[in-house]
Each structure stands twice: as C-alpha cells, then as structure tokens.
A and B are shown apart, each in its own frame.
Chain A
Amino acid sequence: MDMKRDYYEDIELFKSGTILFWSIVLLVALFVAPVFLSNYHLYLFNLIMVHVIVAVGLNILVGSTGQIALGHAGFFAIGAYGTVLLMTKLAIPFFPALIITAFIASFFGFILGLPALRLEGPYLAIATLAFGLAIMHVIGHMELFGGRQGLMAPTLDIGIPQLGLSWELWTEKSKYYLILIIAILMVLFAVNILKTRVGRAFVAIRDSDIAAEVIGVNLTIYKTLAFAVSAFYAGVAGGLFAFVLGFFDPFTFNLIISIIFLVMVVVGGLGSVMGSITGAALITYLWYDVFKNVDEVPVVGDILLAFSRKFLTASGIDNFNFVALGLVMIGIIIFEPLGIFGAWIRVKKYWKTWPF
C-alpha cells in the first residue's frame, strides 16, 4: 500500500494524484475563503494559521525528534516581542525584523538544546518548562519590554517605509493573506525537511538516540538543530501573532499556552505534519471559540448554565474552557494515542480493505 520503490518516490511532495488534487482544492478554498467570511472569523483563521506554524515546528521537535518541550511559549514570546521592538525601536522593516527575530529565537533554541543533550524524560520537561517561565519573567521585569503593561503592535507595514515604499495592511483580510502565504511556506519547508538527511537524522534520534549515534548521526548537532528549527518556527509565528492580537503582555505567553501547543501536536498526531495542522486548527477553534463561549451554544449552553447555577457558580462558566480541554487531553491519550492522524490511518485502512 505504502511501499516505496525508489528514493525519488520517497522524496516527492505529493504521493499521488488524489493528494495533489485535494491539496489544490484546499489551497484554492483557503485563498477564496476571505470573500465569504466575517471579520471575526478571519481573526479566528489568522489565529489558527499562526498556531499551525507553531504546531508544525513543535512537531519537528516533539513528534519527529522525540524531545519533550513544555516551554514553547518562551520562543513564541521572543518572536512577538522581538519583531515589534525591532520595528518600533530600531525602525527595521517588517520582513527583515521577522527573520532576524526568528533567528534570535532559534539561537535561544540552540541554547536550550545544549542541556537537552544530557537530559531526557521528566528532567527535560522541567528544564524546558523552566525556560518558558524564565522568559515570561524576564520580559515582565524589564522596562525595555514594556513590563507588565505590555506592548502595542505598530501598524503592519510590509513595505520599506524608510525608502518611501509603504504598504500598510489594515484589514483582517490583508493580514489573512500575508499569514496564509507565510504559513504555506513554513509547512512546505517542514514537509521537505523531514525528507532530507536532517529529517531522517531527527527520526533516528527519536527511535533510539544510541543507535542513531552508532550509525553516525552527530547527536550534538542534530538535537540542538531540532531545537533551533522548532524555535525558528515559534519565532516566526510569534512575530505574526503580535500583529493578529495587536496588543500583548507577558502573561499572554504563560504556561497554559505552552501546554496548548503541546496538546495541538498530540491531538493531531505525533510525527505527522498534516496531523499537526488539523490539531492546531481544531484546538484553536475549540479553545478560542466554542469552549470560550460555550454558554452561547444552542442546547448544550443552556443545560450547562442551568447546571452551573444549581451546583456551581454561574459566573464561573468561563472555566468550562479548562475542563473541556483537560477532558480532550485525557480522552485522546486513552482512546486514540496517535491522535487525529492515527484515526485517519485507521479509517483509510478499513476502507481500502473493505469488505474484509
């Protein structure tokens, strides 16, 4: 079914005509979508695409290289603050600022990757978690970063205003196209990097780092590289996130956000780029839309409101967000450890061999 006969078959981008066809349909749909969507939904889509970038990057680290990371909100924060500060304080145009910030983030990823060379399991979890918290506190305590008051993102100008070539993006729709194009590029890069020598080294480290070292994978280089690449993604996404939100403070990038990123990857399916994309879309939609405003959902919302008035407190219904996300996390590991991608594989297998 999935047998590869030669190397070129392994590295081709679209495995079959069907996949090519549906990918094109999806792309066309994404490019046409803004015509039919309201501003709020465009904002939601922007958020989803930003999270898709983070999830795809995190998937390279967690899914493909097998390292646990609980501190990605730190890189995300570096991306957001770096881009905005470079643009406002140093007056660097948007694209160079975004790229410089992403490289700064990946430098921090490299730094975090150094202890990761020696740590694994729970020890790595606490180290990455500490990194995320440390970044949040450093940002919160330095005047340069706006302290606890937070920062306001400047006007999104993707031209070079210094040379008089201004191209300002005001509407959600124009931001949507910018983020969409960057997201597509980042996803393509992720799909391709997993098919190169580097990607195969990552997978080898995940399956057994000792065996990988024995066959000649340089652990020092590739583990830190995985952290750096993943941080690069989070940095780019953070830079875009700053403009989607418009305003942010250090507590935007708290531990919960790191956890949500991890949940996106796990729910989507570890090690699969397509899975990460669906996971990010699903979790973002649930977290920022459905669960957040659960009292406005037709029937369920009324029942929940009545229930919480009777036994709990009516004003606490916002906490349904956390309860539901917790249940999703527990449920996905118990019932479908491979996530959406695993379910998809099962369905595909069932229909391919039907009626047997």
Chain B
Amino acid sequence: MPFEQLLIEGLAMGACYGLFGLAVIIIYKTSEVVNFAAGTMAMFSVYIAFHFITFYGFPFWVAFIASLIFAGLLGVFVEFFFLRPAKNPTLLGLIVITIGVQLLLAGLAGWKWGADQQAFSIPFSYQVTYKLLPGFVVSQWAVAVFIIAFIVVTILALFFKFTKIGTAMRATQQNKYAAKIMGIKTDRITAFSWAFSSVIGVTAAMLITARTILDPEFMMEPFLRAFAAAVLGGLMSIPGVLIGGGIVGLIENFFGYLSPAWKPITAFVIIVLVLCIRPSGLFAKHYVKKV
C-alpha cells in the first residue's frame, strides 16, 4: 500500500478515534468520571439500529435516528440510576461503576443478539473509491468520516460557545459549586452531558462498524484506542483529543502495515512512553496539586 493511502486511512481512523474520544472527555470534563462503559453503550445503541433494520425493516436513516435517541436516553439512564446514587465515590469507585455498566450492557447485548457477528452496513462503503489527485485514492467511507467529524466538531464548538446550555456546561466544568450557586442545575447538566456524549459515541461507532464487524465486543478495542487518544490529548481539551486521535490512528496504521501482528498494542506502548515524559498528556496544563 502506498504511503498516501496509509496516511489517509490512518487519518480517517484517527478521526473516528478522535470523535469517540470526544465522547469520553465530555463526560470527564463535567463530572471527572472516566467512562469505561462508553464503548459498550455505543455498541448497544448500534445494535438498536441493527434491530430496527433487520427485524422491523426500517431504512437506515430512520434506524440511525432511533439509535441516536436511544443513546441519549441510555446516557441519562446510566447517569441517573448508577452514578448519581453513589455518595462521594472515590476515583476507583467511579471506575468500578462504569466497568460494571460495561459488563452489564455487554452481557445484555450478548443475551439478546447472541455472540455471533451480524451483518450491518452503513451507506458509506469502504470499497467505493474516488481519485482526487493522481495517486490519492480516497474511499467513500473516509470522505464521510472527515465530513461527519468536521460537522460534529463545528456543532460542538458553536454549541459550547453560543447556547445557554453549552455555557452552563462550561461553567460546571470550571467549578461545580460556583455553578450551583449561580443557579445552574448541575445534576441536570451532568445527565445532559452523558446523553450528549452517548450520542457522539454512537455516531463514531456507526462509522467504525464499516471497518470492523458487529458483535458485542466490537467496540472494546476502538474504545481503548479512543481512550488512549483522549489521554494523549490530556483528557481535557477538545483539540487535544482530535490531535491525539490522529496520532493514534496514524501510528496504528503505519506500524500495523509494517508488522500486522503487533498492530493492537503499538499505540498503547507509544502512549505509555509519551505519558512517562508528559504525565498528563500532550496538551493539558499540568496543575500543581494542592496538598
């Protein structure tokens, strides 16, 4: 495969990881929870779309909208029933809860749809290719990924900047207690950010299904890569996670081309090395901890 091809594919995959990483950091920024269930929540919502298409015969876009709505509700559900009741949880406690949600949803999906791979395709094919410049071949899927990623990021930027609820989310991120005093219902904001993150997550997961298969485990590895991308970007900044996603995607694609056997772990190894040098990611300001 030529260099340009690897570059474009890597960037497209990186954009997917970046999008999914956004889902992780939106929750982390508002409530300091690392959502280990993000991948499984997205997987479950994709299965809802699959169910709509296969068993009820709806067209793709209707199923897609249904799965977005379901993802939003699922996010609120998880926040309201599983995270809110925990009183003063530690970081480890929060991690255990989200891993619990992950196992719960993975189990339910396996129970309902079985562990087999299912046929599920999105309208953007990986096989259809366009030739932009001589030597530059771009698949329809990659074009779709870039466009959707661009749209989502633009919407996010506008949303955080200009809408009331976006401003409230930023205020909650900066200081929860001050935001509460200013009359922001921070609990609702947290629930909303879970819904928001879940919706972005399922969008990314839909794009990722085009490159993998659909089974209850399929989002586990992409989630870990996306999480790694978010960590690389510092878990706090939106441009950071996109750049982190790009780096992870490129590393994975180039090293994966050189030695396919080690593809799953190269990204991780490099991230651990980066973390050793910059402990809180590439783009986060390192605050000195108060004693």
With CB as the reference atom, state the residue of chain B lying closest to A124. B275
Residue contact B111 to A329, C-beta cutoff 8 Å = no
With CB as the reference atom, state the residue of chain A lying closest to B107. A322
For the complex of A and B, 8 pairs with smallest distance between CB atoms: A322-B107, A329-B100, A326-B104, A130-B268, A326-B103, A323-B107, A316-B111, A319-B110
Within 8 Å by CB of A68, from B95, B276, B291, lies B95
Q: List 24 A-B contacts (CB under 8 A).
A: A62-B92, A68-B92, A122-B235, A123-B280, A123-B281, A126-B275, A130-B271, A137-B264, A141-B261, A211-B291, A256-B103, A266-B93, A316-B112, A316-B114, A319-B107, A319-B108, A323-B103, A325-B103, A326-B104, A330-B82, A333-B86, A333-B94, A334-B82, A337-B93
Complex CA gap A134/B272 in Å reads 11
Contacts of A286 in B (CB 8 A): none
With A328-B100, A337-B86 given, is the CB distance from A123 to B261 under 8 Å?
Answer: no
B156 to A: closest C-beta gap in Å = 21
B73 to A: closest C-beta gap in Å = 18
- 12 new A-B contacts, CB < 8 A, other than A141-B262, A308-B111, A318-B110, are A122-B231, A130-B268, A262-B96, A313-B112, A316-B110, A320-B111, A321-B107, A322-B107, A323-B103, A326-B101, A326-B102, A337-B90
The answer, yes or no, to whether B228 is at the interface (CB within 8 Å) is yes
Complex CA gap A115/B272 in Å reads 8
Number of interface residues of B (CB under 8 A): 52
What 0/1 readout, one digit per residue, does chain B (251-291) give for beta carbons within 8 Å of chain A? 00000000001101100110110011001110000000101
Contacts of B102 in A (CB 8 A): 326
Main secondary structure of the interface of B (DSSP, over half): helix
The answer, yes or no, to whether B224 is at the interface (CB within 8 Å) is yes
The answer, yes or no, to whether A16 is at the interface (CB within 8 Å) is no
Contacts of A165 in B (CB 8 A): none
With CB as the reference atom, state the residue of chain B lying closest to A62. B92
Contacts of A160 in B (CB 8 A): none
Interface residues of A, Cβ cutoff 8 Å to B = 62, 68, 114-115, 118-123, 125-127, 129-131, 133-134, 137-138, 141, 208, 210-211, 255-256, 259, 262-263, 266, 270, 308, 311-313, 315-330, 332-334, 337
With CB as the reference atom, state the residue of chain B lying closest to A329. B100
A356 to B: closest C-beta gap in Å = 25
Complex CA gap A138/B268 in Å reads 13
With A133-B224, A330-B97 given, is the CB distance from A208 to B112 under 8 Å?
Answer: no
Residue contact A129 to B224, C-beta cutoff 8 Å = yes
A294 to B: closest C-beta gap in Å = 12
Residue contact A263 to B275, C-beta cutoff 8 Å = no
Complex CA gap A191/B102 in Å reads 33
B39 to A: closest C-beta gap in Å = 12
Contacts of B101 in A (CB 8 A): 326, 330
Contacts of A123 in B (CB 8 A): 231, 235, 275, 279-281
Of A123, A312, A333, most buried by chain B (CB within 10 Å of CB) is A333
With A115-B276, A118-B279 given, is the CB distance from A134 to B268 under 8 Å?
Answer: yes
Contacts of B112 in A (CB 8 A): 311-313, 316
Complex CA gap A24/B189 in Å reads 55
Contacts of A256 in B (CB 8 A): 103
What 0/1 readout, one digit per residue, does chain B (210-243) give for beta carbons within 8 Å of chain A? 0000000000100010011001000100000000
Within 8 Å by CB of A320, from B107, B220, B224, B275, lies B107
With CB as the reference atom, state the residue of chain A lying closest to B235. A122
Within 8 Å by CB of B103, from A138, A312, A322, lies A322
What 0/1 readout, one digit per residue, does chain B (50-91) give for beta carbons within 8 Å of chain A? 000000000000000000000000000000001001110111
Complex CA gap A131/B93 in Å reads 21
Contacts of B276 in A (CB 8 A): 114-115, 118
Residue contact A334 to B104, C-beta cutoff 8 Å = no
Residue contact B272 to A127, C-beta cutoff 8 Å = yes
Complex CA gap A10/B145 in Å reads 62
B223 to A: closest C-beta gap in Å = 11
Contacts of B289 in A (CB 8 A): 210
Complex CA gap A330/B103 in Å reads 10
With CB as the reference atom, state the residue of chain A lying closest to B276. A115
The answer, yes or no, to whether B106 is at the interface (CB within 8 Å) is yes
List B residues 126-165 near A (Cβ within 8 Å). none
B133 to A: closest C-beta gap in Å = 37
Residue contact A313 to B104, C-beta cutoff 8 Å = no
Contacts of A324 in B (CB 8 A): 107
Complex CA gap A253/B286 in Å reads 35
Contacts of B34 in A (CB 8 A): 121-122, 125
Complex CA gap A324/B85 in Å reads 19
Residue contact B114 to A315, C-beta cutoff 8 Å = yes
With CB as the reference atom, state the residue of chain A lying closest to B281. A123
Complex CA gap A75/B55 in Å reads 45
Complex CA gap A7/B111 in Å reads 55
Within 8 Å by CB of B95, from A114, A125, A130, A332, lies A125
Residue contact A133 to B265, C-beta cutoff 8 Å = yes
Complex CA gap A235/B211 in Å reads 38
Contacts of B94 in A (CB 8 A): 333
Residue contact B96 to A329, C-beta cutoff 8 Å = yes
